[in-house]
A and B are shown apart, each in its own frame.
Chain A
Amino acid sequence: MKRFAQLLEQLAFSPQRTGKTRHLVQYFAAVPDPARGYALAALTGDLALRKVTPSMLRALVAERVDAELFALSYDFVGDLAETIALIWPGGGGADPPLPEVVEELAATAKTALPGVIAARLDTLGPSERYAYLKLATGGLRVGVSGRMARLAVADFGTLPLTEIEELWHGLTPPYTSLFTWAEGGAKPVNAAKAPFRPVMLSTPTDAKALAALDPADFSAEWKWDGIRVQAVCDGGVKRLYSRTGEDISAAFPDVLDALSHDAVLDGELLVRRGDAVAPFNDLQKRLGRKTVSARLLASHPAALRVYDVLIDGPDDLRALPHHARRARLEALPLDPARIDLSPLLRFDTWDDIAALRAEPGDPVIEGVMIKHRQSPYLAGRIKGHWFKWKRDPMLIDAVLMYAQRGHGKRSGYYSDFTFGVWDGEALVPVGKAYFGFTDAELKELDRFVRTHTTERFGPVRAVAPEKVVEVAFEGLAESSRHKSGLAMRFPRINRIRDDKPAAEADTLETVRAMIPR
């Protein structure tokens, strides 16, 4: 338990992915089975111990601590589990094995839980109490995604991440077979129905790179602005996975219902009303849900636009060339209300493609996909097979408003920037960016922030409205959560516009007019 508590602290305070991964790899190397597997399950959200509620914990602590003292403390600390961990009277130095604790929580009936939890809290020290409470309530909040945790297992065992992702949904905590494999043992056999298969990814391209290729070798499709998914139907078991292998089935029952034929399909998940594809923002309302209401299903109906088939009935098609898979895909029985084919674009030359890309005719198209007709379906991002040629990003000229210091290699540099546009006489913030600039530009911006600070709020500085930056972004939508009423996707600082006075930066009105309708 002590080592697990230490891991959570390391993860919570490491600002960067590389640091988090390093701590995880060290943990997997140092801790035996089954403890490390339970820790992994806690991080990936696969440890189903959801019986402990905040109200149960509040009642427990009320028996030990004066209510007013607790309220004052909670107010100061701001996190329930942390407050209880710190305030719980006594402080044992117990170090029970993590598996013992997890199995106890899993096996205890709800009525007996408060007593079991209190007894554990009595024996543990503050840091272990915190880890224990986070484990019991789910939600570790240490900034580690399931994918990052699996990536750390791959690093630890020098295994291909794609193979771990393919196996993942057939494995259960404490993942002993996975760690055996990571340490040189046999690869686990995939026993689960409807597993995830690693997806094929594309590399960016442009007119210049394409010029070296023969257009006759390629086919092309629109690149739709949805999310990449894999739909699996396997002997009655149906699943929808994100491209990193997260199971998102629960949020999309409408799509699952439309799967009837045993197959593994690759396509774009969209919100589609009749023939009209809705902007990404509409799809976002459907994402990240555990359940979905009938009302939302009706107002935001999800659909698949498929472009590849990996498995058709008993046949694994991944070794076939793209054109042969495409023929199999076109022959599949699909429910046209929810699943349709991504049409192929007609072209003879790259100039034809460039013209299509310039005028796609639908605002939810974000470019073209160009695929080699002979390519097998390959896991990962392998060069030379699939290319994406995205539309040019949207650009605005904005004024720097606030800056915050960065972490790690950017310690001491102001590297996170909030920028705004003019709304009458005032600037209104429209986005934040912390990449896109070169090292030299970062130094220039840092120097500007230091010499033009007008106010300080903790690590944040307000700066004089003088610096204009060109901001590039991929999408723009209405948002009631932002003061400007706008939300940008992937904003980054494209270049510094020292040639432009701040008064000539864009206005909110101009930016609003860029929202796709």
Chain B
Amino acid sequence: MRFYQHSLELYQTLEEELDSWFMHETKGLMWLAHTETQMRAERARSLLNLACGAETVMITPQEAKALCPQLDLSGGGRYPVLGASYHPAAATARHDRVVWAYAQGAMRRGVHVVQHTRVTGLVRDGERVTGVETSAGRISASVVLSAVGGSVSTVAAHAGVRLPIRTHPLQAFVTNGYDFPFAGIVSDTELLCYVSQTERGQMLIGAEYDAQPSYSLRSSFSFLQSSAAKITHLLPFLRDLRILRQWTGICDISADFSPIMGHTGVDGFLVTTGWGTWGFKAIPAGGEQMAQLIATGRAPALIEPFGLERFASDQTMADPGSTGTH
């Protein structure tokens, strides 16, 4: 949680630092709860957030309705809203703009970014990893960091490393334009889906990742069907909109829903993975802390608990709640 909070602070100044605009906008995020158990979980979430300096409050159904007038508090009769946790500082940003801004910033500082090149293997000298085999030839390096999403197990297999990672597809879709403002981001603890409005006014709807691991980027109709059914219980106005576009990406989900950063047990080969569906908010801090790790050879205190060794030493993270904040 502290790690993510640090990341959010870095985001605040990132636009200025990289000299580019990526639509970073503070919107506020609410997690709706429909049962006593979920209320308890949300209370725990808000207290944890508060303790780590991320302001989160419990709100009543009426307050939720005031923040988001489109909400049906009876949940279509099936999912009545008992309350919600509200995190006012939650923000969204345009993901591809962040990627490009980072790439440009890195190139200005003399980093080579090689595009359209596939990693085909790792160069090994005895037990050490000393470089990367790519479709464009061999690149030597004293330290190799795998920061790939999704296919990380395939890269790690080249070094003979197995990871506690499974790759799941995550789907989302947008509707056509909605002419009225929609406040913030609405998520639901029972239905596991979220809604927000894009800069263009389209409604963005996403849900949990697919149950079976897969590297396929194919979108499915059953996803559209199930998430549309879920979300119209809470936000009936969505029924009048049409689905415009649907897409799928693959996520690396770790066994304890927290990222894995650091050494792998093979000399010269590091990973940062397990970012699942929530890694976006952690980009600035993840990058900064990993750079420190590579430069000093030792994990900084902020990411020390995220090492791969935690699985062997029975110190897995009990922090899935953090992934759903911000």
Are A and B associated in one complex? no
Interface residues of B (CB under 8 A from A): none
